[in-house]
Every structure is written in C-alpha cells, then in structure tokens.
Structure 1
Amino acid sequence: ARWLAALSPDLPLHISRYFPRHRMQTPPTPIATIDALTAVAARHLRHVHRGNC
C-alpha cells in the first residue's frame, strides 16, 4: 500500500477473499485477514475496498 500511495494516494485498491473452487482444498481466506489487510492499506490509500466477504 505504501508503494501504491507513493504513486498516488487516490489509487483504488480492491482486496478480495479467496474461495476454493473445483477440487481445491485450501480453506477460504479468513474475514479477519481481509479486515486487517484493509486497515493497513487504508492508512496509506484513500480508496480501499474489500470484496466478496
């Protein structure tokens, strides 16, 4: 997020949650992880969006 903010703090960042599909056994990304990533990115960027949670 710092690197993106150095380019422009107005760049949008979309953080999406992983969901396993077709034979994938890895569990989905915990919502707490998405929330933590969103909070860190929001310290540097003005337009942080969390998706598919």
Structure 2
Amino acid sequence: MCALTAPEVFDQDDEEGLVVLLRPDPAPEHRAAARMAAGLCPAGAIALGTPD
C-alpha cells in the first residue's frame, strides 16, 4: 500500500515484493502521503519521526 499511496517516497521490488524507501526525508509536498502510507501499512512497519 505504501508504494501506491506515496510513490514519490516508496517503491516496491517486483521480485521480492519488499518496499524500498526512496527518500528518508520527503519533500513537504509528499509528507502527507507518507503519513497516510504509514497509517495504511498492514504490518505497522512504517514509523515516522518528527523533523528536527
């Protein structure tokens, strides 16, 4: 779900199905999508930090 929700931030490996983080600090215009992706992650594997 994260690669579909925030494709600017996440990608998915076609062979393994593993999600790849493209940008550890997404641009402001992509942060809402990254938050949504974290909320939709069925495994709860995405955690968002707070900006410094």
- Which structure dedicates a bigger proportion of its chain to strand? 1
Same fold by TM-score greater than 0.5: no
TM-score (norm 2): 0.31
Where relative contact order (Cα < 8 A, 6+ residues apart) is larger, the structure is 1
Larger radius of gyration: 1
